[in-house]
Amino acid sequence: MAAGTSNYWEDLRKQARQLENELDLKLVSFSKLCTSYSHSSARDGRRDRYSSDTTPLLNGSSQDRMFETMAIEIEQLLARLTGINDKMAEYTSSAGVPSLNAALMHTLQRHRDILQDYTHEFHKTKANFVAIRERENLMGSVRKDIESYKSGSGVNNRRTELFLKEHDHLRNSDRLIEETIRAPQVVKILPASAGDVRDVGSIPGLGKPLGGGHGSPLQFSCWRIPWTEEPGGLQSVGLQRVGPD
């Protein structure tokens, strides 16, 4: 074997080993990127379940850019290593080189196996990353829909709560008015037969002096409560004002 051809072969092997080392480092970083994306997505999901914080720990768009950049770099390295392997294969079949040289064929096959393993690992990691990203995008869309629904339900619940409070306020006001009118301690009923009109002279705020000065008789505004006899007892039918206007 000539010295020139031997140096050419060794130069190809050197380039192949250098590319393989670069690919090994790139693939490790690429795998870590995929793993970190998966873990951050899982943490985001757990945090969304127990808190209202939906901000991811790492920016998904920055991870996407890193993914695209690293994928391009790895593809370029794989293409260069493929070219080196092709040149090594051409060398083993060229004139002046024994085709049955076991050492050369073994070396070539080992570099081919390494290239195949790296290519398989790259496509597997890339597919996993894409699957995780698509799943995260889908889950993010679902979470947004849930939050939107919860927000809408919250507005409706608030309106319902305000309506119920107003309704209770009106009912309480009606009850207070009814209790004030029916309070026995503020009503003085004069004995009479059923169907008579009972005059009330001292309902607080109802009987008031309307005039008169020194030496003049006082005039009072009076109210009367018509009563009717019912099977359950005397029943009031309202208030009527009598006396001076």
Let me know whether 131 and 208 are in one domain.
Answer: no
Pick the more confident residue, 50 or 147: 147
Residues 47 and 118 in one domain: yes
Beta strands in the chain (DSSP E): 197-200, 222-230, 233-236, 240-242
Q: How many CB atoms lie within 10 A of CB 72?
A: 10
Same domain (yes/no): 131, 213: no
Clarify whether residues 82 and 26 are in a common domain. Answer: yes
* Whether 155 and 211 share a structural domain: no
Predicted pLDDT of residue 61: 73
pLDDT computed for residue 72 by the predictor = 96
192 and 146 share a domain?
A: no
Q: Are residues 111 and 209 in the same domain?
A: no
Q: What is the pLDDT of residue 11?
A: 96
* Residue labelled with tokens 């004030």: 180
Mean pLDDT (whole number) for 110-123:
97
Distance between CA 118 and CA 61 in Å, rounded? 26
Q: 201, 175 in Cβ contact below 8 A?
A: no
Between 148 and 76, the more confident residue is 76
Asked if the structure places residue 172 within a domain, the reply is: no
Residue ending a domain, among 97, 129, 161, is: 161
With respect to residue 178, please indicate whether it lies within any of the assigned structural domains.
no
Q: What is the pLDDT of residues 153-207, one digit of tens each?
A: 555 667 777 777 877 777 787 777 766 665 554 444 444 444 444 444 444 444 4
pLDDT in tens, 19-73: 999 999 999 999 998 888 765 655 555 444 444 444 444 455 788 889 999 999 9
Residue 167 in any domain: the answer is no
The answer to the question of residue 224 being in a domain is: yes
**101 and 36 share one domain:** yes
Task: Determine, yes or no, domain membership for 58.
Answer: yes
Is 219 within the bounds of a domain? yes
The CA radius of gyration of the chain, in Å to the nearest whole number, is: 48
Asked, for residue 54, whether it belongs to a domain, the answer is: yes
Residue 73 sits in a domain of what CATH number? 1.20.58
The pLDDT > 90 percentage for the chain reads 28
Asked if 119 and 218 sit in the same domain, the reply is no
* 236 within some domain: yes
For the chain, the domain total comes to 2
Query: CB atoms < 10 A from the CB of 16, how many?
Result: 24
Residues 143 and 231 in one domain: no
Mean pLDDT, the chain, integer: 71
**Is there a single domain that holds both residue 153 and residue 78?**
yes
Show the domain range for 120.
Answer: 3-161
pLDDT at 37: 76
pLDDT at 28 (0 to 100) = 95
Query: Can you read off the two tokens belonging to residue 177?
Result: 């008015």
The C-alpha atoms of residue 153 and residue 155 are separated, in whole angstroms, by 5
Residues in the chain: 245
Q: Looking at the structure, tell me whether residues 131 and 51 fall in a common domain.
A: yes
